[in-house]
């Protein structure tokens, strides 16, 4: 309609001079494909800063990366079972301390009546409540203990602890008897190093 002016010759609604093309000049080609993935840059990037501080930070960064992987906070994905149990796998396992905060206590059914949610959520909420009610003290105490491989959660006699404590004790022994670089005597301070771990004492190997 209105666009077809001058028998096929293009005419613009604005002053073409302003954009930069003089009259009659060839317009740039229409772009038919996406721009290249790695276009050439005309200019080299500014070189990186180097100096004592930077080098130190670099070493720190790499060290931190390694350390994080070994911390108990690094939760590894459980591998899917392989068809053949490889012999060498047994000797390549890295022993990491297990960090379990005041976790699930399935036997604890003394729900003080939340009432508003389904039993499942009540249960879950109760677990979280357990987690929080003891305050972070409990959680981190355990975390501290767990990290050293010595599990003792004998706070204010909670029966349900025994379950977990029992499982963890077995794990504990297994870990302690393993020949590794961890100093078995090293442990977190302060926590009740109760009677249960007495039997482990005799087996402490150095």
Partner 1 sequence: MTQAEIKLCSLLLQEHFGEIVEKIGVHLIRTGSQSLRVIAHDTGTSLDQVKKALCVLVQHNLVSYQVHKRGVVEYEAQCSRVLRMLRYPRYIYTTKTLYSDTGELIVEELLLNGKLTMSAVVKKVADRLTETMEDGKTMDYAEVSNTFVRLADTHFVQRCPSVPTTENSDPGPPPPAPTLVINEKDMYLVPKLSLIGKGKRRRSSDEDAAGEPKAKRPKYTTDNKEPIPDDGIYWQANLDRFHQHFRDQAIVSAVANRMDQTSSEIVRTMLRMSEITTSSSAPFTQPLSSNEIFRSLPVGYNISKQVLDQYLTLLADDPLEFVGKSGDSGGGMYVISILTTCHLLSSFLSRFGSRCARIFRLVLQKKHIEQKQVEDFAMIPAKEAKDMLYKMLSENFMSLQEIPKTPDHAPSRTFYLYTVTILSAARMLLHRCYKSIANLIERRQFETKENKRLLEKSQRVEAIIASMQATGAEEAQLQEIEEMITAPERQQLETLKRNVNKLDASEIQVDETIFLLESYIECTMKRQ
Footprint of partner 1 on 104-123 (CB under 8 A): 104, 112-114, 116-117, 120-121
What stretches of the chain adopt beta strand conformation (E)?
none
Return the half-sphere exposure (C-beta side, CA atoms, 13 A cut-off) of residue 72. 15
Minimum CB distance to partner 1 smaller for 10 or for 204 = 204
Q: Does 19 bind partner 1 (CB under 8 A)?
A: yes
Q: Which H or E element spans position 64?
A: helix 52-70
Minimum CB distance to partner 1 smaller for 7 or for 22 = 22
Q: Does 67 bind partner 1 (CB under 8 A)?
A: yes
Q: What angle do CA 196, 165, 76 make, to 5 degrees?
A: 135
Residues 116, 154 contacting (CB under 8 angstroms):
no
User: What number of chain residues touch partner 1 (CB under 8 A)?
Assistant: 76
170-189 burial string, b = 16+ CB within 10 Å, else e? eebeebbeeeeeeebeebbe
Minimum CB distance to partner 1 smaller for 7 or for 92 = 92
Minimum CB distance to partner 1 smaller for 9 or for 49 = 49
Scan residues 113-172 and list those touching partner 1 (CB under 8 A). Answer: 113-114, 116-117, 120-121, 124-129, 131-133, 135-137, 139-141, 143-144
């Amino acid at each position: 309609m209105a666009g077809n002016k001058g028998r096929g010759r293009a005419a613009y609604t604005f002053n073409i001079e302003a954009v930069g093309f003089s009259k009659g000049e060839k317009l740039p080609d229409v772009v038919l494909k996406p721009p290249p993935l790695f276009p050439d840059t005309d200019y080299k990037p500014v070189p990186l800063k180097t100096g004592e501080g930077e080098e130190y930070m670099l070493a720190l960064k790499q060290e931190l990366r390694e350390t994080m992987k070994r911390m108990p906070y690094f939760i590894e994905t459980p591998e899917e079972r392989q068809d053949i149990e490889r012999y060498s796998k047994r000797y390549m396992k890295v022993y990491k301390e297990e960090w379990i905060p005041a976790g699930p206590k399935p036997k604890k059914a003394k729900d003080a009546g939340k009432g508003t949610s389904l039993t499942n959520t009540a249960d879950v909420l109760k677990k979280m409540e357990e987690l929080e009610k003891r305050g972070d003290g409990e959680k981190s105490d355990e975390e501290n203990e767990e990290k050293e491989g010595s599990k003792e959660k004998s706070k204010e006699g909670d029966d349900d602890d025994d379950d977990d404590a029992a499982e963890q004790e077995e794990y504990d022994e297994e870990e302690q008897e393993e020949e590794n670089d961890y100093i078995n005597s090293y442990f977190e301070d302060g926590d009740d190093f109760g009677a249960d771990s007495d039997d482990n004492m005799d087996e402490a190997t150095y």
